[in-house]
Every structure is written in C-alpha cells, then in structure tokens.
Amino acid sequence: MQFDIRRFDIYRKIPKDLTQPTTTGAAISIICVSFISILIFIELYYFITPEVVSELFVDIPESGQADRISVHIDISVLNIACQYVGIDIQDDLGRHEVGFIDNTLKLPENNGMGCRINASFKINRVPGNFHISTHSSNVQPTNGDMKHVIHELAFGDSIKGFRQIPNRKAFHPLRRFNNTNRPSHISHDYLMKIVPTIYEDLHHVRRYPYQFTFVYREYNPYQSHGAGMIPTIWFRYDIMPITVKYTEHRQKLYTFITSICAVVGGSFTVASIIDSLIFSTRELFKKFEIGKMT
C-alpha cells in the first residue's frame, strides 16, 4: 500500500459548497482582522523600541579616585553689568577659584544693565559650591540686585538623543527657572543633591549624566555681613553615594514571535467562538418561530 503523507494533515479542508457564509460572520471577520492588525502593530512597536531597566548600586572607583564632574550653566543676571559679575568655585578639597574665566562667555543684557553668563567647568566629587557674585571685581556696583533667570544647569554628559531615559526632568530641574519676583536685596541659595547616573544603550555605549534635586532659600546678607556685602547666587551641592544605572534592552525575537502567535491564534479563536454562539442562537430562534421547539 502506498504511503500517503496527507493522512498527517490535522487541518482538514472542507469544500466551499458545504459551508455557509453569513453577514454576521463577515462583520466579525472584519473586526477580528482589524483587531489583530492593531495588536500586531503595537507588538512591533514594543519590539523595535528598547526597554529601559534601572538599578541602584554603590559605585566604588577602582583607583579610589573618581572623575571630576562637568558642569554647564547658562544664567541671566538682570540688573548687574558683566564687568562686575563672575563665577567663583569652592569645595571641601580646598579649591577656591574667584572669577573663573575658562570656557566662560558673558553677554550684556537688559540694555547693558544685566549680564548673561554661559560657562562650562568641572568640579570635584566632594561637597562644595559655585556661585555668581561680584567678588572678582575690583569695583563693586552700587546696585546689588541679583534677580536672575536660570536658562540651564546640567551636570555630566548630555542626555540629548536618549529618548527612552526615564524622568528626564530630574536632569534639568532648574531649566527656565525664573527668580525675578524676589526682593532686590537678598542672596539666593540653591541646595542641591546630585545623583550619579549611568546610561548604557543597546550598543553598550555608556554616558554619565547626573540627576539632581534642589531646595531654594533666600536670606539677607546685609544682616550677617553689614551694608557693604553684595548679594550672591549660591549653588551648593553634595554628591550622593548611590548610583542609578539605566540599561536599554530589546525584546528577544522568540518572545516577539510568541506574542504574535498568541495574538493571531487567540483572536481567531475568540472570534470563532463568538460567531458560533451568534449563529447557534439565530438558528435556535428560527426553529422557535416556525414551531419546531415546543
């Protein structure tokens, strides 16, 4: 007897003349195919888009010394001219720079009455501060109004291009911070907690941005240092010992295929059950109407 491989066919075909198409079945089929298409598109989007996984750990440098942290600040002081204001840097290792000028650009604003300072520099990974003041000027202005607008303040590497990074605002919480509605005779104090962060993309390329939080306070310098003290804009920082790491992961191909099979198979099965229930119910009502069911 000749071997017939068709005996292993579990998907037996029914001739079309033995099947009956219905309007309800057509409607359910269209809805089912549309539903499957939408779900497949969603699954494809999540397959292409990397997932970001976060973890916390204590980062201990192998050499016992950590790299310095880059800082970028862009700030406008509205009522003190550029010839008077500058950036000063201090930390707990004894660093004390007055009138930092490297990578610093100062542009007049407010008809020359104010100054926009755009600067980039590095700080040690120890508590310290940098501040906008008139300490580097030999001649002090008569006006000590330090009202200001912070256009940008960021630590570490830029997060541009990292569309999936969570909580983006934590990397720029002082962006476009307007502090022009405060009294003109006060000093401004920003107390910041900086959190080291590692972002690793799908190609295992790492970036090192820094998140931070801040608390703002103000005080009157004239009460502490006398009438000759010009107000200052302080940025005091402390480095947190915990590091946050974000790692991009892409869904495995077999997981994606499994999801597609589940979507297609499950949708067709549910649609078939609904169609069968509707068809059986209609046939039951037809028999009831013609009196075959008593």
pLDDT tens, residue by residue, 62-77: 555 567 899 999 999 9
- What sections of the chain are H helices per DSSP? 23-48, 221-225, 253-289
243-272 residue pLDDT tens:
999 998 888 888 888 888 998 888 888 888
Tokens representing residue 240 in the block: 């947190």
pLDDT at 6 over 90: no
Asked if pLDDT for residue 283 goes beyond 90, the answer is no
> For 178, phi and psi rounded to 5 degrees?
-100, 120
pLDDT band at 50 (very low <50, low <70, confident <90, very high): confident
**Across 45-71, average pLDDT:** 79
Say what the pLDDT of residue 223 is. 57
Helix (H) / strand (E) containing 209? strand 209-219
Helix (H) or strand (E) holding 101: none
pLDDT at position 280, please? Answer: 81
Those residues whose C-beta lies under 8 Å from the C-beta of residue 252, and which sit 6 or more positions away, are none
Residues forming beta bridges with residue 193, ordered by sequence position: 213, 238
pTM of the prediction?
0.75
Average pLDDT for the chain: 87
In the three-class reduction of DSSP (H, G, I as helix; E, B as strand; rest coil), residue 163 is classed as coil
pLDDT tens digit string along 98-122? 988 889 999 999 998 999 999 999 9
Predicted pLDDT of residue 150: 97
pLDDT band at 183 (very low <50, low <70, confident <90, very high): confident
CB atoms under 10 Å from CB of 153, counted, come to: 20
Q: What share of the chain is helix, strand, coil (3-state, %, to 5)?
A: 25, 35, 40
What local confidence, expressed as pLDDT, does residue 53 receive? 87
Supply the pLDDT for residue 253.
Answer: 84
pLDDT given for residue 238 in this prediction: 96
pLDDT score of 216 more than 70:
yes
Q: pLDDT band for position 224 (50/70/90)?
A: low
Q: What are phi and psi of 88, to 5 degrees?
A: -115, 145
The fraction of the chain above a pLDDT of 90, given in percent, is: 44
Residues 151 and 127 sit within 8 Å (Cβ to Cβ): no
Alpha-carbon distance of 33 to 230, in angstroms, equals 72
Parallel/antiparallel/unpaired status of strands 128-133 and 233-239:
antiparallel
Beta bridge partners of 211: 195
Q: For residue 128, what pLDDT is reported?
A: 96
Question: With 60 as the cut, is the pLDDT of residue 1 above it?
Answer: no
Angle, CA 261 vertex, CA 257 and CA 264 arms, to 5°: 135
**Of residues 154, 148, 234, 160, the one with CA closest to residue 194:** 154
Instruction: Report yes or no: 190 and 234 within 8 Å, Cβ to Cβ.
Output: yes
Coil/strand/helix, residue 202 = coil
Q: Are 109 and 222 in contact (CB under 8 A)?
A: no
pLDDT band at 23 (very low <50, low <70, confident <90, very high): confident
CA 180 to each of CA 2, 11, 49, 133, 214: distance values in angstroms, whole numbers, following the listed order: 94, 76, 42, 17, 18
For residue range 117-160, list pLDDT tens digits in order. Answer: 999 999 999 999 999 999 998 888 888 899 999 999 999 999 88
Average pLDDT over residues 225-241: 83
Percent of the chain with pLDDT over 70: 93
Distance CA 264, CA 253 (A): 17
Cross-strand partners of 210: 155, 196
